[in-house]
Copies of this chain bind each other. A is one copy, B any other.
Amino acid sequence: MVDNLSVPSSEMVIPEEISGLRMTRQRREVYRTLLQDRDHPTANDVFVRVKESLPSISLATVYNCLEALVQHGIVRQVNFERESSRFCPNVAEHGHFHDRSTGVIHDVIFKPGVNLADFLELPEGAVVTDIELTLRGQLGSI
């Protein structure tokens, strides 16, 4: 996985191809944008940011690129309630804590060695392939 959190956009090197997906200019810029500010932007947020380097990109292309990245397991699509989808370049298993007072979304990782399914009464024979966990609340005093 490409991960150079503190490298400025223009210097960030993204290979020609990731997980079998050819990196076109648009896909590269969309992905670069996600890597750069890990604040879980919406498709429209990404659109606005990518336009700075590719002014002629269209919103439909941003949606196309995000879909391609998601389907190749390069990016994760995260949904909160019925809001716009948000996108996240962290594809490791993790959940999200949504701070209701600021709107900020924090990644939440499992403590080492924890297997979530061990704490659940799953239906007989259930094979879990995908976990989605969202916590909501506030940071700091109530």
Chain A residues in the interface with B (C-beta under 8 A): 79, 81-82, 85, 95, 97, 99-100, 106, 108-111, 114, 116-117, 119-142
The answer on a CB contact under 8 Å between A111 and B120 is yes
Number of this chain's copies in the complex: 2
Residues of B with C-beta under 8 A to A109? 120-121
Residues of B with C-beta under 8 A to A141? 125
Residues of B with C-beta under 8 A to A119? 110-111, 114, 116, 119
Q: Which residue of B lies closest to A116 (CB)?
A: B119
The answer on a CB contact under 8 Å between A128 and B97 is yes
Measured between C-beta atoms, what is the minimum distance from A138 to chain B in Å? 5
Measured between C-beta atoms, what is the minimum distance from A40 to chain B in Å? 14
